[in-house]
Structure 1
């Protein structure tokens, strides 16, 4: 006879249930717990301390295609692993589990009854008794097939992206090479050397230089820097390079050459997408009597050239007032003329060198600067063109990631004759 509480009117209270209903509810809870274990969305496995399987749920059996009698008491957990997984289990998984009492999220592969492989994520814990001694190992296994498919697709996409990047880098490198002379021409009486430092292999820079013969035994040279990067900058670079060469053939006067380039750029790039550059153009004329070369430099907003003399001194060849090429219809172009005597070296550079960060690795913002570069030239003089370029390359290497813009350098040196060397 079940016990009830009277509500004063001969019936049980609503907040109490008969004993038989409570028993049914408890049985239902127990059945639900067992059903949850057997048909959980993950695999459950209990093993003895030696790894022999003691209990396994239906979910894992269905995944692997085994009958319960095939596994319980017959196989060890490691028997379900692939060869590589078994090796990892013995050398890493099992020892770590013994030391830590738990190990989670380990990616392994289980062998199904039909020989197929099931990628899984495994988490195991050691169940201990009241005396603290280990009793068995409980393992939870998650199906990682969707995750493995996702990772495979992600890897495929990454590899495709890497191939595309390599292709783009090769294209960028090829395009960059087309904007520079393949080799500098041999100028009688001059030692010439140049270098182009690429700040990023992913983008085409806008720096350019060239040295070429003109009529009457004279030579033209130029070095410039187009604003911006990428394909748009490359277009302007190509236009500037070929315009300068064509203009110098028509009229080699440096002021006229840069004036022609300014006209072309200001007409070609107007409106919302202006394009401009800094350029220095030089006309080299050999001095048959004194030796060396007279050079007239015209600058359109470009950093001054550095002259390192045979006597060990060095100074900038300033061209103040020169304006950017391509901005104004009638840009002011500044000029200077100097004799590059035997033993002297003239160095042209773009501002990627002087604007480099000197301590980029520690997050500094300090720029190398014009004064430091002048000290560099004074310490280097007297020197040759090849030694100058080698020293500049070493200097750029010390900046590392601090060089955030492409840098072009062009050096010309007038070698001394054997008799001048003896004097």
Structure 2
């Protein structure tokens, strides 16, 4: 109860306070050092220099389950320890005590009542005589059961966390393997051999944890013509993979029905637009083309929808784009317009199709786009040695982009191999 400044103090309350203070002071005077020693919350003992116990408090005797007669003058400190504790005491504890004069907080096990092991923390100090000679050892023993239990729990938690980490890593590796298998199922296992032509491809995965949406293919239409396509589905993951699978199968089926490039892309646009009309719009970019080899030449017809222009590396060392302006994204609108183009490949020429992961890579300190101009310059700098040589060079380029390449990239190169150089005739002399 709060007393205001005007209220008189109760004399009986003053007398109670004085009595309580007097009782506390009297108890403090009667609390002898011997009683503090005997009933302390930790164990105390003093030993001779050979380890014989000369004095031990009641607390430690209770822990040991022994009486004073059994211990004082009859046992050594090491007799209280477990086998492992004795070994550690002889090899580490005692030598360190002799050298430094004190040892603090060493973890040991003592043999408690009933044969149980009691984890303790031991601190020992040498007491010296007036001439500096050690005469006895004073030791304090702290009960470390709570600490040991805490450490055991920490160790258990650490082991559980490590096991969880290993399991997560194993699961991630299995997931990456499964994703790699699924990714490969969306691409041809190998390109077919086209008489008179050379073909090469490469798929660069930006992240092993995500399915990419890039795709390509090359397949025969009849005895003289071959179809090819390359594209990029919007997004990543399982949904993008489903669209990729549908796109590849639709392009193949449409090409076998009517191989005209614009007609094929129009069919794909209709399928995607009708399939994804519930708000989850899915679309892609693509280039579809027809190859018709004619001896030393190969006629090429292509149509493109929203896709980067194909690049041609010519046998004379130049490089140029085959522009397809105005081609629209495939699958967004019910009716879409697609750009058409054609060219002729001669010996040593290579037609390169690629997805925008290549040209949209970020390079240099300013993280600038790599771009189409840089790609054309790169192709011009490469010797016109055919599709495989160009794809190999581009693979090295992609690897050099490092983390600047944050999107999957597909490459498909087609061309007529250059004639092998005529070997120099041997000197008849």
User: Is TM (by shorter chain) over 0.5?
Assistant: yes
Displacement of 1:12 in angstroms is 5.7
2:330 alignment counterpart: 325
Task: Tell me whether 1:208 sits opposite 2:215 in the alignment.
Answer: yes
Displacement of 1:142 in angstroms is 3.9
1:264 alignment counterpart: 271
1:295 alignment counterpart: 300
Q: Answer with 140-149 or 379-388: which moved more.
A: 140-149
- Aligned partners of 1:308 and 1:383 also within 8 Å: no
1:198 alignment counterpart: 205
Displacement of 1:202 in angstroms is 1.4
Match of 1:353 among 342, 358, 364: 358
1:73 alignment counterpart: 77
- Aligned partners of 1:37 and 1:57 also within 8 Å: no
Distance (whole Å) between structure 2 residues aligned to residue 395 and residue 350 of structure 1: 14
Q: Answer with 372-381 or 327-336: which moved more.
A: 372-381
What's the TM-score, normalizing by structure 1?
A: 0.74
Displacement of 1:366 in angstroms is 2.5
The structure-2 alpha-carbon separation of the partners of 1:125 and 1:370, relative to structure 1 and needing over 3 Å to count, comes to: farther
Task: Tell me whether 1:22 sits opposite 2:25 in the alignment.
Answer: yes
Match of 1:336 among 341, 345, 364: 341
Match of 1:384 among 363, 386, 390: 386
Task: Tell me whether 1:408 sits opposite 2:415 in the alignment.
Answer: no
Structure 2 unaligned blocks of 5 or more: 1-9, 128-137, 425-429
2:41 alignment counterpart: 37
SS where residue 37 of structure 1 aligns?
coil
Bigger radius of gyration among the two: 2
Distance (whole Å) between structure 1 residues aligned to residue 52 and residue 302 of structure 2: 87
Distance (whole Å) between structure 2 residues aligned to residue 347 and residue 127 of structure 1: 83
What's the TM-score, normalizing by structure 2?
A: 0.73
Displacement of 1:75 in angstroms is 6.6
SS where residue 190 of structure 2 aligns?
coil
Distance (whole Å) between structure 1 residues aligned to residue 279 and residue 165 of structure 2: 37
SS where residue 335 of structure 1 aligns?
strand
Structure 1 unaligned blocks of 5 or more: 1-6, 39-43, 130-134
1:314 alignment counterpart: 319
Output one character per residue of 1:101-120: Cα deviation in whole Å (capped at 9) or x when no partner.
9899xxx99798899999x9
SS where residue 196 of structure 1 aligns?
strand
- Aligned partners of 2:38 and 2:57 also within 8 Å: no
- Aligned partners of 2:81 and 2:108 also within 8 Å: no
- Aligned partners of 2:37 and 2:57 also within 8 Å: no
The structure-2 alpha-carbon separation of the partners of 1:142 and 1:28, relative to structure 1 and needing over 3 Å to count, comes to: farther
Q: Answer with 213-222 or 177-186: which moved more.
A: 213-222
2:176 alignment counterpart: 169
Displacement of 1:419 in angstroms is 8.1
Q: Answer with 259-268 or 408-417: which moved more.
A: 408-417
SS where residue 178 of structure 2 aligns?
helix
Displacement of 1:147 in angstroms is 2.3
2:155 alignment counterpart: 148
Output one character per residue of 1:212-256: Cα deviation in whole Å (capped at 9) or x when no partner.
011241111101111111111111000000111111111111101
2:3 alignment counterpart: none
The number of equivalent residue pairs is 386
